[in-house]
Structure 1
Amino acid sequence: MKYKYQAVDKLPTPPTPHLSWGSSLHAALEWFWDRKLPEPPSADELAAALYDRWDDTGFADMSRQDKIGWYRHAQDVLRRHQAQHAPSYRPAAAVEQWFDVDLGDRVRVRGFIDGVMPTGDGGFGIVDWKTNRRAKTRAQVETSLQLALYALAARDLWGRDPDWVALEFVVPGIRVEVPIERIDVDAAVAEVHRVAAAIRAGRFSPTPNRLCGWCDFRDICPAFEGDDGATDVPGTALVELQRLRRRQERDAQRIAELEQIVRDRLGEQALVELG
């Protein structure tokens, strides 16, 4: 059901502290590993990268003191990450690597790989950073659909399998690596086709579980009909609409300013060629 609400109905979801905190950490980690020099960034440089990339949208209704608590927690996590990886640091071959894989039967898988890490023998591994407080077991990582699809994407992008895939839980500082031989890519592809067939058939049955309490769509989900206290979807849509309209106005103003600069220095024809 959550897929239907997000991807089919495109219902809005409100920003939350956990999402903003996670996106801020991811942005800082991408900067840390996307290095053009072999030396690792210092802890202070990584802290500055966090400051520059901090996403405050999920903390709008929070007190300043509580915001500082979240921010300092992120600083601590990144300091530990830097200390853990600096001694053996090697820049990533790619971060936020886009992929678009055709699985046949009108099914495509698209997404981003967090980090593609070179290994000492000319190969590479794939890592996905997680901001969960608890790490998963190796058995759970071995059955990760996400990592199996990343391995498939690697074949499509570079013509070979990664040496290993991993989930790295940056809060506890644990990376769970699994050799590629333990990943069943064929089973993952079969599962994607099964889910795609269900989507095409309009089968969106709710699957209640322990994460339902965190879901933004609990109040409209058939499994929890009549429950109170969940997200106000229409109200959230209005808030997001207002925010996007303000951004649109700012963007339109800036576009006009830039067009005038181009017009003054390059002439009207430059804008025509730009389209």
Structure 2
Amino acid sequence: METSTEGAAAGCGSDVAPATGPVRDEYPAGADSTAATAGADEAVPPADDTAGAPEAVPPAGAPVRPVIPPTSLSPSRAGDFMQCPLLYRFRVIDRLPEKPSAAATKGTLVHAVLERLFDAPAAERTAPRAKSLIPGQWDRLRESRPEVGELFADDPEGERLATWLGEAEQLVERWFGLEDPTRLEPAERELFVEAELDSGLRLRGIIDRVDVAPTGEVRIVDYKTGKAPRPEYAEGALFQMKFYALVVWRLKKVVPRRLQLVYLGSGDVLTYDPVVADLERVERKLLALWEAIRVATESGDWRPRPTKLCGWCDHQAHCPEFGGTPPPYPLPVRAGESDGGTQGRMGPD
């Protein structure tokens, strides 16, 4: 594997606490991307139950919808299971509510601004214009997701909000030192993609930006509002991008020429040029992961996997590692389906 951290050219050519909340890479086509809250910088709950993002607690007296086993996989949900099978259960099966995160919401806001900036003619895509979009996009986000207003409920003077919006401005401005939007004409923005593999596994996700060169080469771009990972963790960071590349390959029969992660928190760009063997390897990994999810779903055996990331988890009150008790398992359990504790052992590619 060859990776590089570099300033991005136009055309085709972690030290941050994980955010909690539903994931932007799961909303269906036609949904409003600005309603997303992020998983590092991503998120919106999908419209259909089978996609498996967490939801808010229904109001008292509201009808309870039946629990449906997961039928699709997104990069964030795959990451949840690899991090901790019990976390996957809490988010996908139980759909436990999670508090909005300031970091995740900031990521959503910045994504919305960078998406909307391309509505303007190329010559008008300037840093001042981009920053001027922030107040309006913040208002729009609060309208679509009223719960994010809780982040600043104890800030009557608006001082913390002003600081937070200023940080969003800095992230947006930093992007202009990494890419030149006056030289870019994205083929797609906030593109929902979904593909079904021969095995029947349905993969879905949302790609921040797709660039297509005049020669037909495809570049997939993802914005991250955190810092670039250390080199030893670069492969894990690229998992999401390879997932997207696999979906595009299966849909379009074209292997993307380049995968590009733009880290606004540190001003770095991580690039990778995939080949067919990479995508085949990712597909095998996802199939093994999906089989482990199937076994856990049918057996009800969702084991916690303690790591230092537990400190940021919203579900400690329900986790046995913290003395909690998970909610009653809402799906039928099939005896004898346990795989002996292999769930969640999928490592990096």
TM-score (normalizing by structure 2): 0.59
* Corresponding residue of 2:132: 48
Question: Do residues 220 (structure 1) and 315 (structure 2) align?
Answer: no
Question: Do residues 61 (structure 1) and 146 (structure 2) align?
Answer: no
Q: Which has the higher contact order (CA 8 A, sep 6+)?
A: 2
Q: CA deviation at 1:75?
A: 0.7
Normalized per residue, the structure richer in helix is 1
Q: CA deviation at 1:177?
A: 0.5
* Cα distance in 2, alignment partners of residues 210 and 182 from structure 1: 34
Question: Do residues 160 (structure 1) and 258 (structure 2) align?
Answer: no
* Cα distance in 2, alignment partners of residues 186 and 198 from structure 1: 19
- Distance change >3 Å, CA 35–CA 91, structure 1 → 2: farther
Q: After the TM superposition, which residues 152-231 of structure 1 pair with which residues of structure 2 at under 5 Å, given as runs?
A: 152-181=246-275, 184-202=278-296, 203-225=301-323
SS at 2:228 equivalent: coil
2:122/2:181 contact within 8 Å kept: no
Question: Do residues 106 (structure 1) and 191 (structure 2) align?
Answer: no
Which of 212, 221, 228 is the equivalent residue of 1:135? 228
Q: CA deviation at 1:12?
A: 0.9
User: For the aligned residues, what is the CA RMSD?
Assistant: 2.5
* Cα distance in 2, alignment partners of residues 38 and 155 from structure 1: 30
* Cα distance in 1, alignment partners of residues 277 and 161 from structure 2: 40
Q: CA deviation at 1:82?
A: 2.5
* Corresponding residue of 2:99: 14
Structure 1: runs of 5 or more not aligned? 228-232, 234-275
SS at 1:109 equivalent: strand
* Corresponding residue of 1:271: none
Letter aligned with residue 195 of structure 2? V
* Corresponding residue of 2:17: none
SS at 2:165 equivalent: helix
* Cα distance in 2, alignment partners of residues 138 and 183 from structure 1: 22
TM-score (normalizing by structure 1): 0.74
Q: CA deviation at 1:85?
A: 2.3
Q: CA deviation at 1:29?
A: 1.5
- Distance change >3 Å, CA 39–CA 156, structure 1 → 2: farther
- Distance change >3 Å, CA 170–CA 137, structure 1 → 2: same
* Cα distance in 1, alignment partners of residues 287 and 114 from structure 2: 33
Deviation digits for residues 171-221 of structure 1, max 9, x if unmatched? 222110111139721221122112211222124221111211111112211
Q: CA deviation at 1:136?
A: 1.9
- Distance change >3 Å, CA 40–CA 189, structure 1 → 2: farther
- Distance change >3 Å, CA 36–CA 226, structure 1 → 2: closer
- Distance change >3 Å, CA 87–CA 114, structure 1 → 2: closer
